[in-house]
Amino acid sequence: MELLDSLINKFPSTSSCCCGCSLETGCKIIGWVQTIVSGIGLVLYVIILVSFALLITVSPGASIFGILITIISGLTYVGIFLLGLYLLSGVYHDDANKLKIWLYGNVILLSVHAVLFILDLIGSIFTLGLMIGPLLSTLIWMCVTVYCIAVVKSFRDERSRQPEA
């Protein structure tokens, strides 16, 4: 956990969120957007999983690998959904531990995506099949995540400096 804490402390701080909102409002927006988007993604993955299940009953030779990837992706959406709920609960109930869990989870996800981005970039260069779309969308997602982590970290730090009421 010390490694994660040192990584989180290296993120920049900000005094307000986008459009001049307070850090608290920004954290609420981030939490709601993360929860809603991951919830929609989870529903879509359940639909895909059901269609795979129907495909297997029709075609026994269907790809188990595709089903496995779909299950792992669905579990990722469950994790992101839960992180969004932790953020919302941490903000609404002023619980620094839940904010810390959200920060840990998102730093881990960001690290995994950074490694995957580098591997995709290397693979694209060596195969000369540079696919800009997926690389660009991953890069944009990583930049937004860095900003969200900075906002939540700043909110947590702001709350820890305030005296108890």
Q: Running along the chain, 165 residues long, what does each successive block of 10 average in pLDDT? A: 86 86 94 94 83 64 64 83 96 94 93 84 74 81 93 93 69
Residue 165 located in a structural domain: no
Q: Which domain holds residue 129?
A: 2-9+21-160
Residue 16 located in a structural domain: no
Q: Domain tally for the chain?
A: 1
pTM metric for this prediction: 0.82
What sign for the dihedral angle of Cα 45, 47, 48, 50?
A: positive
Per-residue pLDDT tens digits for 97-142: 999 999 999 999 999 888 888 887 887 777 766 677 777 888 898 9
Q: What are phi and psi of 61, to 5 degrees?
A: -90, 10
- The answer to whether the beta carbons of residues 105 and 83 sit under 8 Å apart is yes
Residue 114 located in a structural domain: yes
Residue 47 located in a structural domain: yes
Could you identify the residue written with the tokens 């290397």? 122
DSSP state of 164: P
pLDDT in the model for residue 67 = 65
Could you identify the residue written with the tokens 């995957």? 116
pLDDT in the model for residue 7 = 86
Residue 80 located in a structural domain: yes
Residue 14 located in a structural domain: no
